[in-house]
Structure 1
Amino acid sequence: MYTLKKSLGQHFLRDENMCRKIVSSLPVAPGTQLLEVGPGGGAITKYLLELPGVDFKAVEFDQEKVDFLEKTYPAIRGKIIHADFLKVPVPFEGPFKVIGNFPYNISTEILFRILEWRDQVPEVVGMFQKEVAQRVASVYNTKEYGVISVLIQAFYKVDYLFDVHENCFNPPPKVKSGVIRLTRLQQPYDMASERKFITLVKTAFNQRRKQLRNPLKPLFAKETLAEDIFTKRAEALTVADFAALTHKML
């Protein structure tokens, strides 16, 4: 068998109905290139391997899990990339979809890695710690809304699909889980540059309790900071608002 390694953020799904539900949340047609991140003990992998006509690969860092998967599911041999997902090069040429019961300790880093690959990744379904899933999916004027909400939603539509109860895991984790789907936007937001957008968002939320004109002083001319929008707090701005402001930055 295999062991649970909390240091790698591992948590093993045992509810077969939930496994099938997660897999069915990502539309996959024959000919699709599909990447699973962190297959672990193969909870959803065994269903992904059954998808007809799919070019499947999985990235797994833990050698013990690689050995277990190859022994238990012979069909996966030759399809596993034994590597750290955060360091692996793009695994396919052309478009591919991503799915995973993501290791919770690097789940946000996984999302930012996918952002780097967004030109090739039209759709993602992932299970996260519920708090993280809610932050990614949250809208403006909510306490969960923050840097990751804005940066992901600038390029993807986010749908919070469903909760995953602790009893679906063995052993049950101490945190709740949730599954979200990202669908790449057909029409990206108009921003001066991605670099300016990221700088603006991170700077604005760095002092989220203050009016924007305070943290954003270094980024805008004094006369620009006199505009009404800068009397708001970061959480009151939509993704479109942030994108529009990049055109006024110094």
Structure 2
Amino acid sequence: MTDTRHVRQTFHRAQGLELRSTWQSTQAYKRHCHPQLSIGAIVEGQTCCVCHDREYILNPGDLIVIPANVPHSCNPVDGQPRSYHMLYIDTDLPLALQVIRNPDLFAHYLDVIETMSPASVETLLSALPRCADNADALRSTSQQVQEAFLSDLTSPPSLDELAQRFSLRKETLIRTFRQDTGLTPGSFLNVSRVEYAKARLRAGDAIADVGYQSGFADQSHFHKTFVSYTAATPRQYATGRSISDNK
């Protein structure tokens, strides 16, 4: 498997938009979510996307729409390399999880990522089906666990402390949280730390500082966790180009 730092990938940002383009990568992601709507396009190879416990095999020319905050993983099939674009969009539009196999929309998507113009993105979004907002509200316990983690990423309460606070067995707390969010509390905390780190890197903070700001014990832990949830290194994300592109 190619080391992540040698994978050719770029990040391009515009207001309310972020585009990730990755080429010939065999890197896998852990199950994660992000606060933006994302639309992925497969250019080469195959990707297996697992979302809502359903598996989708995506081929070149396929688009997948993943609503904000929906846990998912998108990984190579049989360890073979694949190339893809992921467009992250800040929007409140209630779009459905969907796989789109439409050559015209795929071509439109490629035009959008060339220009990264808000007007072209709006045109793309207007062509996608909406969905009813029927997501179940989190139970109070799960909501309070999220709030406890997000309020202090550097020193969050332990699961034992939270279980005692809610008069629950730790196993019950974990099971309830996973049923409500699709993630374990530990995964939610890691994803939240990585998302915070991404925000600080986009703001231009030094990589050495961001790891500690985000609650990681050391740079090694920060690097390993960031890669496992993003399939990119912090430096690739911060600079928008991989090390191999710097030659």
Both structures adopt the same fold (TM-score exceeding 0.5): no
Higher strand share: 2
TM-score, normalised on structure 2?
0.24
TM-score, normalised on structure 1?
0.23
Q: Which has the larger radius of gyration?
A: 1
- Flag the structure with more relative contact order, 1 or 2, with Cα contacts below 8 A and sequence separation at least 6: 2
